[in-house]
Chain A
Amino acid sequence: MVKLPIYMDNHATTPLDPRVLEAMMPYLTTKFGNAASRNHSFGWEAEEAVDKARAQIAALINAKPKEIIFTSGATESDNMAIKGVVEFYKEKGNHVITCVTEHKAVLDSCKALERAGKAVVTYLPVDKYGMVDPDDVRKAITDKTVLISIMFANNEIGTIHPIAEIGKIAKEKGVIFHCDATQAVGHVPVDVEKCGIDLMSLSAHKLYGPKGVGALYVRSKGPRVRLTPLIDGGGHERGLRSGTLNVPGIVGFGAACEIAGQEMAEEMQRLTDLRNRLQAGIFERLDEVYLNGHPTERLPGNLNLSFAYVEGESLLMGISEVAVSSGSACTSATLEPSYVIRALGIDDELAHSSIRFGLGRFNTEEEVDYVVERVAQEVNRLRDMSPLYEMAKEGIDLKSVAWRRD
């Protein structure tokens, strides 16, 4: 018997790996020193632990340890990168290039800069798979462009952007390239050298580490990237991010990165197989199910599907013993479906019908099979209840109907 509830929302957060917790425990108990205390052993052992974690994280992304700046998470890293670069390079220019499907931490940082009159932002479109065209990036660059910010992999649809190509263009044009790699690091190979990334946001809790800790990779050479800090104070992290370091969190982050690196090749294959099993199982049992995102260039654990004629939130309610997430934001006052799904150019009705499955390290084949059966069962039940399904079966073109919008 499969154990319920099943967690299949690993893009939202991942469970803490027990091995990570084990690494953290001493720093939550006896080894409580402040890493900035230079004059006693408590401080030294904390500093040593932080240095080790810095090296573990750097190794996973092919960076140097000193290029890792610890933050509270990827949201802070995104804010720091975008606002910090725009502020520091304001004499050079004020133009930022990003894309419409970025995380809100990137989009809202850009909007805040626009409102403050500090930046002009170009929001690039994506194709029907959610991918940015590197040529669009090239064409958008002006002599005022100071920053390109494109995510590695999308958090909703799992699409992986052509990051190395964008990085190459950025180098050619001498523009700083920030990449929000929150969903990718630890899941697929990420190499800041190969990809030409200058700034990169990371988060520990997306790779089986603890919440409340993340990092910003800041390139030190070729070019040396400068930025104005968001948080001033004791001058920690080379003055870029003041505040006493979250030592247990950082130790956990480091351990999580080391484990992810060791197990990546095997885990990518295992998750791809599980994802394919989930997709094939659902497609076998149901008609009119559509894949959102790129068919091949996507995160191994991601499956985003639209179930025609069924509203996403009602489907989530039907499979309440399975934790997945819906692209439909029916709870918001605006009734807007996900901006990421909409950016793919699909109908709003299908956007309201989207479900994101996020497979992770602790999911099993047995769980996948259970989810396939339950999803098929609930979708069939809800389609029986759906006037749209009834109309479609009667041959009515739903687009030709004059809907009453009140």
Chain B
Amino acid sequence: MAYSSKVIDHYKNPRNMGSFPKDEPNVGTGIVGAPECGDVMKLQLKINDDGVIEDARFKTFGCGSAIASSSYVTELVKGKRIEEALAIKNSVIVQELNLPPVKIHCSVLAEDAIKAAIADWQKRKGIKPAEKKEEAA
């Protein structure tokens, strides 16, 4: 299977790859997927008190499309308010990276990672999660 040029670019030059120090305040961490399924994504979001995502980091175990999906998501969420980030649909990732049908699950995982990271930040801040429940497309 041939990869799209955008997937290759993210794979070769991952954006915001790495981790924030563990004890850093204002960081929410989302880890989704499972090793036995061949995909694990860790997404960290640094969110200020106004609810704006200032910075992001990712680490991913998975195929090239999984790495590209998480790399792209770090670019996508930066500067967004958490409500805006929570509204990001996996279809945006599919479109940007030109993912074939067999790789849609990578984009779903990346969308889940955003939600998990924000939920973790809200938990740490003692904020009640948003009432509206988003479903993966």
Contact = CB atoms under 8 A, between A and B. Distances in A.
Interface of A: 309-311, 313-314, 317-318, 328, 330-333, 335, 337, 347-349, 352, 384-390, 398, 403-406
A311 B109 contact: no
A314 B11 contact: yes
A352 B60 CA distance: 14
Interface in B1-51: 1, 3, 8, 11, 14, 17, 19, 31-42
B34 A403 contact: yes
The 8 closest A-B pairs by CB, nearest first: A348-B36, A403-B34, A349-B35, A387-B42, A352-B38, A387-B59, A313-B63, A317-B64
Nearest to A328: B38
Interface string B56-80: 0001111110110000000000000
Contact of A333 (B3, B67, B102): B102
Secondary structure of the B side of the interface? mixed
Given A385-B17, A388-B35, A388-B40, A406 B59 contact: no
A311 B38 contact: yes
A386 B36 contact: no
B59 A352 contact: no
Contacts of A404: 31-34, 112, 116
B38 A403 contact: no
B36 A311 contact: no
Given A386-B59, A388-B61, A330 B35 contact: no
Contact of B108 (A311, A352, A384, A406): A406
Contacts of B37: 335, 348, 405
Contact of A385 (B3, B59, B103, B112): B59
A333 B101 CA distance: 9
B105 interface: yes
A95 to B, nearest CB: 34
Contact of B38 (A309, A330, A333): A330
Contacts of B35: 347-349, 352, 388, 398, 403
Given A328-B38, A388-B61, A404-B34, 15 more contacts: A311-B62, A311-B66, A317-B3, A317-B64, A328-B63, A330-B62, A330-B63, A331-B102, A335-B37, A335-B39, A387-B40, A387-B41, A387-B60, A403-B31, A403-B35
A377 to B, nearest CB: 13
A314 B3 CA distance: 11
A241 to B, nearest CB: 35
Contacts of A387: 31, 40-42, 59-61
Contacts of B87: none
B61 A403 contact: no
Contacts, number: 95
Contacts of A317: 3, 8, 11, 63-64
Contacts of B8: 317
Nearest to A384: B17
B33 A386 contact: no
A67 to B, nearest CB: 41
Contacts of A333: 102
Contact of A314 (B63, B103, B112): B63
Contacts of A398: 35
Nearest to B11: A317
A347 B41 CA distance: 19
Contact of B32 (A335, A337, A406): A406
A398 B33 CA distance: 13
A366 B132 CA distance: 60
Most buried by A among B31, B34, B63: B63
Contacts of A313: 38, 63-64
Given A314-B11, A330-B38, A352-B38, A403 B33 contact: yes
B136 interface: yes
A249 to B, nearest CB: 29
Contacts of A311: 38-39, 61-63, 66
Contacts of B62: 311, 314, 330
A405 B39 CA distance: 10
Given A385-B14, A403-B40, A390 B63 contact: no
Contacts of B41: 387
B30 to A, nearest CB: 9
B39 to A, nearest CB: 8
Given A390-B19, A406-B112, A309 B61 contact: yes
